[in-house]
Structures are given as structure tokens and as C-alpha cells.
């Protein structure tokens, strides 16, 4: 250690050569917001100086900006549908050098084994993957997931350096009402000196005060500026989310201004591989903010130093002596085109192409519960028949660009179609099939706004318990699509005319695959085009939108394995009633 420290100090003084020097750059100082001109010197993966330096390797970056590596402060890697190694390959060329991941998707399927798989599969990558421990597995006591994680299951993980705290506390209702198990989890994180993330859409007033008093330090569910400002004023950090399904940036643009940006972060939460390939990752959020007239410097700080400070990531997120040499060379702040990415002072991507060698050492036989995660029988069309009668029908209305839903009540008109499906009015049947414990439970309901005019779409990506969710215009196609997902040990499927037309296998816990982002995206695009041809509403993602209709902590109404579910009352409600 002493010899290494001597080397760093002598390189910083210019007595010895640095390993790498980026020459003549325009350097973003995230501490002051200034642009400095000069060189950045790196020794043993650490920035040792900014000024005038020589090095064994010198790269001229005249007229280029140099920024800290980008950090996504809240993401579920599973939602990319890529393994951790393939996810790293996809995001590194976009300038992402670290992420803070919540593995609650795989934990809902496989519990502690799921967390261990993610930590093992993400070791020794040229992308720092930190973890927040899943706080709500299952999301609520009304859901049926593959695991039930208690505080004692989580507490041992806090000894891991990469574990930075307790992930999004989705059960805000239980938190403010002093649910004993939730309080134990909070106490475990506090005792370990770790952060606690929030997830409380619409929480306000004294209920919000109680939630924050419990120790919840952040929120990524703000859908308008008034909600965000109330939470900021009460001391929370605000994560501005722009993912595949939930896109909140437009309504939260004032947070990029000087008054607020020091307590804000940029996150993607859930982002499909295709969006990463086509649009980018955190770099896309920065470009979008700049196109909206916001400061690139502010945006970069919100995606570098701010998450590093909030999560306690050490010397990351800035370009300064002693900081890890995670650096980007960017062609201009107006376009924010990432030309070079350095991780620990090593070039890992250039002009959108990965230069680092990334391989996964995880073997399927080491994690049998991950690669064989289905425990259910095939379904039949009759399994989706209505179990209630009545003159009124309760319908989930999905909204473009939101994961919030609305409840609407319409005439049942079952005499016209006993299934309750009315494609002419965009009212489809939706169902969730329990797939973890062979209970045989199938919840049936209705959805509006999805738009299908023929066929059915099924997926084992159904937040957060990840049972099989299926939506369709008829029960035969619903059964065909759901059974294709089962056959593939997870994934997405489209059926039409009683036949499977397309599928994407996701054999890692029914959530991820081991193919690369481009291959995954090519298949996904093909399926999205097919879904649009079948009538799926323009402006919604057919798979991500479907996945969130099963999440029982986001208002107003959802579909679970035992029927339609009212989020506010946390109770099941009938799909058809008088």
C-alpha cells in the first residue's frame, strides 16, 4: 500500500510519468460546474492530477469534453431481459460505468438464490454493479411470488461491499402503519449504516412525513413537479425516471435547474435492451434534458456525483485527484455523443463499440432454481372463463407513458359475448397465472387502452411476482401464448388463430436470456411490430406496459393471480358485479 501511495503521489507531482494522460481536454468539474482546460493524468486506475502532465500513453482530446463516468441510480437489470454480463456489454459504450441495481425481480422468483446469482454473475465486470436489497418480496402480502424474504434473509448481505442499502420500499402503506416485518428491514439497513430507497407514488402530507421519518431517503415515482417538490422539501432525494414504460422527465424538467439539481439523480428503473441499443442509456437522458434547454453540466452531475454521494460509492462520480478514473470523452454537450469510455483508466469502449472482453463465469448447473423456475401445469381456454356474473364490468385502463392505471366501470353486456371481451370498444381479457407453487390460481379481469384487435400476448415478466400474464381477444389464443411461455421456461409469446406466431425465450428465472442486446432487440422488434399489426395501441410498449398491470403497489387497479385488485384498499374486487 505504501509503495502504491508513493507512486500515486510522485505521479501527481509530475516526478514520474502517469500511466495515461488525456491531453488538452475540456474537463467538466462537477463540484463547481466549471469547464477547465488541461490534461487528466491517471496512475494505477486513479486520477492523480489535472493540469499539465506527460504519460506512457497520451491521447489528444483537443476540442473534446471529458466527463465522469455515468451512474444509473436505480435500475432492475432483469428488465433489460439481459444477463448481467450482456447488460454490461450494452450500457458501457453509452458511458455507463456504474449502476445501482435492485434485484427484486429475480428475488421474487428465486429469493436468496436469485440475489446470489446476480451478485456472482456481475463480479469482475468493467461495470461496477452495486445492489440495494429487495425490501418487498412479495410486493404485498396479497401477491403470490416464488419467495418471501424476511429481514433475517437480508441482513447478512449488508456485509458485502457492493450492497449499499435497502431497495425501494414499495409498501409505503405498510411502512406508515408500522408493519412489523417492514420495520425490521428498515432497522437492519439503519444498523448497517446503509441507504433506504423509496417508492411512494402520490404519498403526501403527514403520511409522507411518516414515511420519511422512518428513514426513507429517496423516491423515483414522482409523476409531476408538485409531488417532487413536496418530497424535496421534506429532505428526500428525487430520482428522475425515464425508462421504457414510465417516462417522467418531461414533467420534472424544472428539477434540472440550479435551485434543485443538487438533490436529484437520473435513473431508468426499467429499460428494455432495445431501448438501450436504439436510444442509449443514461446518455440518452442527458441528451433529452439538453434538447429541452437544460444545462448539460447539471445533468451530468445528476448522473455521476449525486448518486455517488447518496449511495456512498466512494471516490466515483467526479474528475479529481484520488477519484477512480472512470471517464468519458464526449464530442459535444449539445449532442452528448460518447466517443471513448475509460473504466479504472482502461479504454473499454470507443465510438459505440465495446473494446473490453466480457465473459460470464456463471454455470446453469450452479443455480438450478434459476434455470428451472416454473412449477405449473399447462392452461386450457376454459381456465380464463369468468367466475362472476353481473350487470357491470370493472376494467383496468392503461395510460400512455405511465405505469399508473385508472379504474373504469362499464356495462357488462355478457349477453352479447359471455367472455366479456369487446374488441370494438378496446376491452380485452387479461389474466395472471400463478407459476411458482402450482396453486392453479388464475386471476381474470379486463383491460382497456391496450388495443389488440386479434390474437393474444403473454409474458413471464409481470412485476413484481413474475407469474405469467396474458392479454387477448379470445381465450384460445390466450392459452396458446401462455403455454408457449411455459414451454420455453419463461419469456414472451404471441399467438393468433390458435397458433404461436413468435416467441422470445427468457430461461434465466423467466426474466433474462444470455444472448446479446442486439440479438434480443432484433427479436423483440419483430414481436413489437407484430403486436402493432394486431392492433396494439401506438405509444405504449406492448410488453413493458403489460408487465406493470400486475404490480399491486401502483394505483389504481391491477390484476393478480386471484383476480382484480384495488391498490388503495389493498383488496380483491370482482371483475363483474351488480
Local structure of 90: helix, strand or coil: helix
According to DSSP, residue 169 is labeled E
Longest Cα–Cα distance in the chain: 88
CA distance 509 to 461: 10
- pLDDT at residue number 71: 98
**Strand runs labelled E in 246-368:** 264-267, 327-330, 338-343, 346-350, 353-354
Task: Note whether 383 and 257 are same-domain residues.
Answer: no
Residues linked to residue 43 through DSSP beta bridges, in sequence order: 46
Those residues with Cβ within 8 angstroms of residue 519's Cβ, 6 or more apart along the chain or in another chain: none
**Which residue, 360, 388, 416, sits at the end of a domain?**
360
User: Residue 29 is placed in which grid cell?
Assistant: 468539474
Instruction: State the residue range of the domain holding 22.
Output: 2-63
Task: Note whether 354 and 380 are same-domain residues.
Answer: no
393 falls within a domain: yes
Residue 124 phi, psi (nearest 5):
60, 35
Per-residue pLDDT of the chain (578 residues; tens, 9 = 90+): 556 899 999 999 999 999 999 999 999 999 999 999 999 999 999 999 999 999 999 999 999 999 999 999 999 999 999 999 999 999 999 999 999 999 999 999 999 999 999 999 999 999 999 999 999 998 878 889 999 999 999 999 999 999 999 999 988 988 999 999 999 999 999 999 999 999 999 999 999 999 999 999 999 999 999 999 999 999 999 999 999 878 899 999 999 999 999 999 999 998 989 889 899 999 999 999 999 999 999 999 999 999 999 999 999 999 999 999 999 999 989 899 999 999 999 999 999 999 999 988 788 788 998 999 999 999 999 999 998 889 999 999 998 878 889 999 999 988 888 999 999 999 999 999 999 999 999 999 999 999 999 999 999 999 989 999 999 999 999 999 999 999 999 999 999 999 999 999 999 999 999 899 999 999 999 999 999 999 999 988 899 899 999 999 888 999 999 999 999 888 999 999 99
CA distance 30 to 187: 34
Task: Note whether 52 and 73 are same-domain residues.
Answer: no
366 falls within a domain: no
Handedness of CA 77, 82, 84, 86 (dihedral sign): negative
> Which helix (DSSP H) or strand (DSSP E) does residue 36 occupy?
strand 35-43
Task: Note whether 301 and 165 are same-domain residues.
Answer: yes
CA distance 308 to 306: 5
Q: Quick one: which of 4, 11, 21 has its CA closest to 342?
A: 21
- pLDDT at residue number 385: 95
Alpha helices in 280-433 (DSSP H): 282-291, 296-302, 305-311, 368-371
Task: Note whether 550 and 496 are same-domain residues.
Answer: yes
295 falls within a domain: yes
Task: Note whether 71 and 120 are same-domain residues.
Answer: yes
**Which residue, 17, 39, 63, sits at the end of a domain?**
63
- pLDDT at residue number 3: 62
Task: Note whether 174 and 245 are same-domain residues.
Answer: yes
CA distance 243 to 222: 13
User: Residue 443 is placed in which grid cell?
Assistant: 386471476
368 falls within a domain: no
**Strand runs labelled E in 159-254:** 163-169, 195-198, 218-219, 237-241
- For the chain, how many structural domains are there in total? 3
335 falls within a domain: yes
Q: How many residues does the chain have?
A: 578
- pLDDT at residue number 88: 97
Task: Note whether 406 and 466 are same-domain residues.
Answer: yes
291 falls within a domain: yes
CA distance 61 to 154: 46
pTM for this one?
0.91
- pLDDT at residue number 2: 55
- pLDDT at residue number 363: 81
Q: For the packed helices 225-233 and 205-213, what is the interaxial angle rounded to 10 degrees? A: 50
Task: Note whether 501 and 550 are same-domain residues.
Answer: yes
CA distance 203 to 222: 10
261 falls within a domain: yes
Task: Kindly calculate the radius of gyration of the chain based on its CA atoms and give it in whole angstroms.
Answer: 24
Task: Note whether 354 and 382 are same-domain residues.
Answer: no
CA distance 450 to 423: 10
Amino acid at each position: 500500500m505504501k509503495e502504491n501511495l508513493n507512486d500515486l503521489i510522485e505521479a501527481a507531482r509530475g516526478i514520474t510519468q502517469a500511466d495515461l494522460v488525456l491531453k488538452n481536454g475540456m474537463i467538466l468539474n462537477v463540484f463547481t460546474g466549471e469547464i477547465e482546460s488541461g490534461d487528466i493524468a491517471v496512475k494505477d486506475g486513479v486520477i492523480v492530477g489535472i493540469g499539465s502532465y506527460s504519460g506512457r500513453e497520451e491521447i489528444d482530446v483537443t476540442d473534446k469534453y471529458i466527463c465522469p463516468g455515468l451512474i444509473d441510480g436505480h435500475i432492475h437489470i432483469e428488465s433489460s431481459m439481459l444477463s448481467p454480463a450482456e447488460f454490461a456489454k450494452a450500457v458501457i459504450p453509452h458511458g455507463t460505468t456504474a449502476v445501482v441495481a435492485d434485484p427484486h425481480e429475480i428475488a421474487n422468483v428465486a429469493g436468496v438464490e436469485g440475489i446470489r446469482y446476480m451478485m456472482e454473475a456481475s463480479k469482475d465486470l468493467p461495470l461496477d454493479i452495486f445492489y440495494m436489497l429487495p425490501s418487498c418480496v412479495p410486493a404485498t402480502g396479497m401477491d403470490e411470488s416464488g419467495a418471501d424474504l424476511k429481514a433475517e434473509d437480508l441482513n447478512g448481505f449488508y456485509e458485502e461491499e457492493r450492497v449499499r442499502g435497502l431497495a425501494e420500499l414499495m409498501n409505503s402503506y405498510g411502512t406508515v402503519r408500522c408493519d412489523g416485518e417492514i420495520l425490521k428491514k428498515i432497522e437492519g439497513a439503519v444498523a448497517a449504516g446503509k441507504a433506504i430507497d423509496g417508492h411512494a407514488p402520490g404519498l403526501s402530507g403527514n403520511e409522507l412525513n411518516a414515511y420519511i421519518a422512518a428513514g426513507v431517503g429517496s423516491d423515483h415515482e414522482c409523476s409531476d413537479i408538485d409531488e417532487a417538490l413536496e418530497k424535496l422539501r421534506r429532505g428526500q432525494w428525487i430520482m428522475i425516471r425515464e425508462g421504457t414504460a414510465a417516462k417522467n422527465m418531461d414533467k420534472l424538467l424544472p428539477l434540472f435547474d440550479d435551485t434543485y439539481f443538487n438533490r436529484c439523480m437520473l435513473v431508468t428503473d426499467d429499460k428494455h435492451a432495445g431501448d438501450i441499443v436504439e436510444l442509449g442509456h443514461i446518455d440518452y437522458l442527458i441528451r433529452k434534458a439538453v434538447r429541452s434547454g437544460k444545462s448539460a453540466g447539471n445533468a451530468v452531475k445528476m448522473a455521476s456525483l449525486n448518486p455517488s454521494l447518496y449511495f456512498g460509492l466512494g471516490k466515483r462520480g467526479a474528475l479529481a485527484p484520488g477519484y477512480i478514473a472512470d471517464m468519458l470523452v464526449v464530442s459535444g454537450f449539445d449532442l452528448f455523443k460518447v466517443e471513448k469510455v475509460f473504466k479504472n483508466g482502461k479504454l473499454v469502449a470507443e465510438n459505440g463499440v465495446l473494446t473490453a472482453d466480457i465473459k460470464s463465469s456463471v454455470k446453469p448447473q450452479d443455480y438450478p432454481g434459476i434455470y428451472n423456475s416454473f412449477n405449473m401445469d399447462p392452461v386450457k381456454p376454459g381456465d380464463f372463463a369468468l367466475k362472476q356474473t353481473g350487470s357491470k364490468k370493472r376494467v383496468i385502463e392503461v395510460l400512455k407513458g405511465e405505469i399508473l392505471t385508472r379504474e373504469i366501470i362499464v356495462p357488462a353486456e355478457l349477453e352479447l359475448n359471455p367472455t366479456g371481451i369487446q374488441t370494438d370498444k378496446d376491452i380485452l381479457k387479461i389474466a395472471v397465472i400463478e407459476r411458482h407453487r402450482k396453486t392453479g390460481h388464475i386471476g381474470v379481469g379486463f383491460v382497456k387502452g391496450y388495443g389488440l384487435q386479434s390474437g393474444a400476448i403473454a409474458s413471464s415478466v409481470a412485476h413484481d411476482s413474475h407469474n405469467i400474464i396474458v392479454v387477448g381477444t379470445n381465450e384460445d389464443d390466450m392459452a396458446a401464448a401462455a403455454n408457449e411461455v411455459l414451454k420455453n421456461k419463461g419469456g414472451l409469446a404471441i399467438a393468433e388463430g390458435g397458433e404461436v406466431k413468435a416467441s422470445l425465450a427468457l430461461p434465466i428465472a423467466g426474466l433474462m436470456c444470455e444472448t446479446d442486446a442486439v440479438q434480443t432487440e432484433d427479436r423483440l422488434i419483430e414481436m413489437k411490430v407484430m403486436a402493432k399489426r394486431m392492433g396494439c395501441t401506438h405509444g405504449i410498449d406492448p410488453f413493458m406496459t403489460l408487465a406493470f398491470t400486475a404490480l399491486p403497489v401502483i394505483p389504481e387497479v391491477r390484476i393478480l393471480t386471484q383476480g382484480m385488485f384495488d391498490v388503495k384498499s389493498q383488496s380483491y374486487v370482482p371483475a363483474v358485479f351488480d
